[in-house]
Amino acid sequence: MNRKHKGFSLIELLIVVAIILIIAAIAIPNLLRSRMAANEASAVGSIRTINTASVTFNVTYGDGFPPSLATLGGTGAVTCKNAELLDTILGKDPASKSGYTFTMGAGATVVAAANVPTGCTAGYIDGYTITAWPSNPGTTGNRAFCSDATGVIRQDPTGTHPAVAGGLCPTALAPLQ
């Protein structure tokens, strides 16, 4: 009998599977690195947004820089306690977005009560700090970030939560290039 066999042999299938595994072994680490880079870029963009919202808050309400991210966020009627300058994700304290955790620290000098508009909470004359650090260092990101009222974003390559004091980021952290 003369039969025609159609299909692949076991050896051919094993070779194809081995090639697919080699390609996956090359591609997956690059995918993870690119995802961490995207998370870090998102964190820097979010810090820039929070900086802009903080300056806008200070100019709009005249009671200093905001005391928290929650003051900049919120829903409902727009007031000096519920400015709606940030979305509902960043407008929490602490906030989590794209594998990073964000907090806002208050300055050291409170606006004098006589200068605070009626119904508003006193803000801070000397600024604020914004910190962002990876929720899972080495997985969601490698670097931590800090910014203050100067608008300069600083980075910590270790990914640990930056220690801030008096409304300023540590000067030992390198400015973001």
Cβ density class 102-113: b for 16+ within 10 Å, e for less: bbbbbbeebbee
Q: How far apart are CA 148 and CA 169, in angstroms?
A: 6
CA angle centred on 123, ends 50 and 87, rounded to 5°: 30
Going residue by residue through the chain, which has 177 residues, state the pLDDT in tens, using 9 for 90 and above: 566 767 888 898 999 999 999 998 888 888 889 999 999 999 999 999 999 999 999 999 888 899 899 999 988 888 888 899 999 999 988 999 999 999 999 888 888 888 888 888 888 888 899 999 999 998 999 999 999 999 999 999 999 988 888 788 998 899 987
Give residue limits of the domains in the chain: 10-175
With a CB cutoff of 8 Å and minimum separation 6, the contacts of 168 are 127, 129, 148
Return the pLDDT at 2: 61
